[in-house]
Amino acid sequence: MGDNIIRVAVVDDHAVVREGIRRVLEGEPGVTIVAEGKNGDEAIALVERERPDVLVIDVAMPGRTGIQVTAELRRLNVPVKVLILSMYDQPEYVLASVKSGARGYLLKDSPPAELRRAVRTVSRGETYFPPAIAALLAAAQNAPAPTSRLDVLTPRERGVLLGIARGETNKEMAARLGISHRTVETHREALMDKLAIRTVAGLTKLVLEEGRLTE
């Protein structure tokens, strides 16, 4: 292969999504998929092994999230450009992705041509944020500083935190909030990262100390 070939790794916990990304990108001249993975731990191992130019990774997966993987790869000084692919258009997710070192953020319902364009852009060391995502990022960056630790949470994350403090299971929280079990897990990981608290006891203590978390 010539030096102009863009080597891409794809990580998503859904096989059908990985297949779709593969079809979109391998139809682009000068782009090849060199590795695929289904979770965050696999992502770090395959990137260290294959050294792709670009990693296209889902933001929400079992175990480590795409944001956590991106931060870890930066800590390890692995020279890969990360493009986050996500279902979520909340400003907090976009800002957290950028802070972790991601070069781009793209929604999963984006047109195939935009995914190809994003991969080419980040492979050159540039950033890629579509206008709507760029606006979300600007809003998050310009938001006033939180006056409470809980202010960094989205409404959904606050709902999940309340459930944790009440001792609810993920299934019970999903039913109360009208979301999927997997989405509850995603919000749970996100709020733990934001609050830097990884135990149920610690989260419950914070809720009791704040005394202002309601549905």
* pLDDT over threshold 80, residue 213: no
Please name which of 33, 15, 14, 20 lies closest in space to residue 119, comparing C-alpha atoms.
Answer: 33
Please name which of 66, 158, 139 lies closest in space to residue 104, comparing C-alpha atoms.
Answer: 66
Residue 30 backbone zone (phi > 0: left; psi -120 to 50: alpha; other: beta): left
Residue 73 tokens, joined: 């790869």
Average pLDDT over residues 152-173: 89
- Give the DSSP per-residue string, 55-100: EEEES--SSS-HHHHHHHHHHTT---EEEEEES---HHHHHHHHHH
Domains of the chain by start residue, with CATH: 6-141 (3.40.50.2300), 149-210 (1.10.10.10)
Q: What is the pLDDT of residues 48-87, one digit of tens each?
A: 999 999 999 998 887 788 988 999 999 999 999 999 999 8
* pLDDT over threshold 90, residue 144: no
d(CA 137, CA 128): 12
Please name which of 71, 108, 104 lies closest in space to residue 89, comparing C-alpha atoms.
Answer: 108
Question: What's this model's pTM, rounded to 2 decimal places?
Answer: 0.72
Q: What is the pLDDT of residues 21-38, one digit of tens each?
A: 999 999 889 999 999 999
